[in-house]
Structure 1
Amino acid sequence: MDESEMVAFWRCRLDEDEQAAREALARTTTTRRMIGGQWVEDTVQPPEWRRSTWSPQRVLAEVAAKRQRLAHLAEAVEAGQDSYDLASVLLPYELLPYANHLAYKESWRP
């Protein structure tokens, strides 16, 4: 199993997740409307946000947390420390959410 290739794959997927979340945030608009004789600002979110618990803020927070885990796992893989075995065991599980991606390798499946 090539852990360094898995680390690179995960970094790319996190970049894609972050980009998608930032693009979704850019689609948020603020409108003003009159309610009871007063102007009220209202944030309008894309329909996909209202249909699920998905939000760009949550995705960005999740990406940030995953980047921290990735940094520690990559450090262990590169250093070949005692924690390397644990990193080798955990890394495939971190990639499972991306198993449908074209670049995902079945040999990475835990």
Structure 2
Amino acid sequence: MDDLVQWLGEQLDEEQREAEDALKKTTTTRRRIGGRWVEDVVQPPEWRRSAWSPARVLREIDADRRILDLYVTAVAERVALRTRMRALTDKELDEFGRLHAQESVLIETGRRLAPIVRLLALPYEDRPGYREEWRP
């Protein structure tokens, strides 16, 4: 899953760059209509013929990154807990039990988020580097 997380992050970076570049092509003009000033957002012609919106793409990327971060955080916290558990002595059984319970929650969180991360990668399956093993 580490490879998938890294690859998906790279795809999101590329999409973000493209959307930000597209937003730079959007201009705002002001004109006077009926005695008052009105602002118009002028988009390139190719956008007007499609439902594609760079602002929407950026919002989707932000949402995808947040989901990815939930997974990465759960995995990293589990690794950190496991390290703490290994350092405990036999006298610290209560602490071990508490950490083990936390680890169980993190394992379950990762297990539930892993298929979602695979689904997030699916729109990019036609890009170089996508592996069939990642398919949900």
Q: Is the 8 A contact 1:49 1:55 kept in 2?
A: yes
**What per-residue deviation string (whole Å, max 9, x for no partner) do you get for residues 13-66 of structure 1?**
111111111100101123456767987653320122111111111011111111
Greater relative CO, 1 or 2 (CA 8 Å, sep 6+):
1
* 13-22 or 69-78, larger mean C-alpha shift: 69-78
Higher-Rg structure is 2
One-letter identity of the residue aligned with 2:131: K
Q: Which runs of 5+ in 1 are unaligned?
A: none
Q: Which runs of 5+ in 2 are unaligned?
A: 79-105
Q: State the TM-score, normalizing by the size of structure 1.
A: 0.82
C-alpha distance in 1 between matches for 2:18 and 2:65 = 16
C-alpha distance in 2 between matches for 1:60 and 1:26 = 13
The RMSD of aligned alpha carbons is 2.2
C-alpha distance in 1 between matches for 2:108 and 2:32 = 63
**Which of the pair is proportionally richer in helix?**
2
Identity within the alignment, %: 45
| 1:69 Cα deviation after fit | 0.4
What is aligned with 2:22? 24
Q: State the TM-score, normalizing by the size of structure 2.
A: 0.68
Q: Is the 8 A contact 2:30 2:39 kept in 1?
A: yes
